[in-house]
Amino acid sequence: MGKKFKVTYQVPFYESDINHQIKLPHLLSFALQVSGLQSESLGNTDDWLLEHFNLVWVITDYELDIKRLPRYAETIEVETEAIAYNKLFCYRKFYIYGQDGQQIIEISSTFVLMDYDSRKVVTVKDEIVAPYESEKIKKLLRGPKYKPLEEAQEARFHVRYLDLDMNGHVNNSKYLEWMYEAMDLDFLKSHVPKKIHLKYLKEIHYGKDIITRMHQDGLTSQHEIKTDQGLHAQAQIEWREREQQ
């Protein structure tokens, strides 16, 4: 296990959904910010990485285990640690604690280092990850296998300026937003995610038209994000009925 870093955060109105719970894509974005704050505290900033190695961090996978979602105005703690790495992948955990101090969400994430110009994945350098004190391992930690969707509900969106992040491609949180948009509103009002597997395959750039595809079987939904360039992201979500507040 690596060095831990923790930030306290109060869920604001503009990040809360119709159920008075945090919008999950916003929580993922804030978790990434916390990992960035840890890197800054260790002198291992994105600017340093780009200047010295011409590299950027890219997320490839998320796994979320959710007991409950943080509520509007709740003060939560987001803790993170870089737990391990191998020659290609870096693995980081996020732990979300509710106002009562109990852990309510655990997020497992996988990162790679990509050359900024070529957009190709490079081998992880020990000196880059050394400040996090994470374990070097040989094993590759793999997520689930995703089946291609045949019959699916679809929705279409156009990639806008505000969908982009500082790297010039679609922000990771937007993919999950688009996946939600393919689902029925009444279902989303009465259910919350229990477990999510999310895999990113290719970047999406400004001006593209995307198709979000979804197939639902009971309390399990499968998702794809596609463009004319092919498949860009996949997800599996297990749902449960929302407890009435």
Q: What is the pLDDT of residues 67-79, one digit of tens each?
A: 999 999 999 999 9
The one-letter amino acid at 142: R
For 9, the token pair is: 């955060």
State the pLDDT confidence band at 244, using cuts at 50, 70 and 90. Answer: low
Q: What is the pLDDT of residues 85-121, one digit of tens each?
A: 999 999 999 999 999 999 999 999 999 999 999 999 9
Query: Under a CB-based contact definition with an 8 Å cutoff, are residues 66 and 194 in contact?
Result: yes
State the pLDDT confidence band at 143, using cuts at 50, 70 and 90. Answer: confident
**Burial (CB count within 10 angstroms: exposed 0-12, middle 13-18, buried 19+), residue 81:** buried
Tell me the mean pLDDT in the region 34-49: 95
Calculate the average pLDDT of the chain: 95
Residue 234: what pLDDT? 97
Q: How many other C-beta atoms lie within 10 A of the C-beta of residue 161?
A: 7
Q: Which domains does the chain have, with CATH numbers?
A: 4-136 (3.10.129.10), 153-241 (3.10.129.10)
Q: CA 9, CA 67: separation in Å to the nearest integer?
A: 18
Q: What is the pLDDT of residues 175-209, one digit of tens each?
A: 999 999 999 999 999 999 999 999 999 999 999 99
As a three-state string, the secondary structure of the chain is CCCEEEEEEECCHHHECCCCEECHHHHHHHHHHHHHHHHHHCCCCHHHHHHHHCEEEEEEEEEEEECCCCECCCEEEEEEEEEEECCCCEEEEEEEECCCCCEEEEEEEEEEEEECCCCCEECCCHHHHHHHCCEECCCCCCCCCCCCCCCCEEEEEECCHHHECCCCEECHHHHHHHHHHCCCHHHHHHEEEEEEEEEECCCCECCCEEEEEEEEECCEEEEEEEECCEEEEEEEEEEEECCCC
Q: What is the pLDDT of residues 127-137, one digit of tens each?
A: 999 999 999 99
For 36, the token pair is: 């960035």
For 8, the token pair is: 């306290």
Residue 2: what pLDDT? 86
pLDDT above 70: residue 245: no
Q: What is the pLDDT of residues 145-179, one digit of tens each?
A: 998 898 899 999 999 999 998 878 899 999 999 99
List Cα–Cα distances, 3 to 6, 108, 133, in angstroms. 10, 16, 6
pTM metric for this prediction:
0.95
Q: What percent of the chain has pLDDT over 90?
A: 91
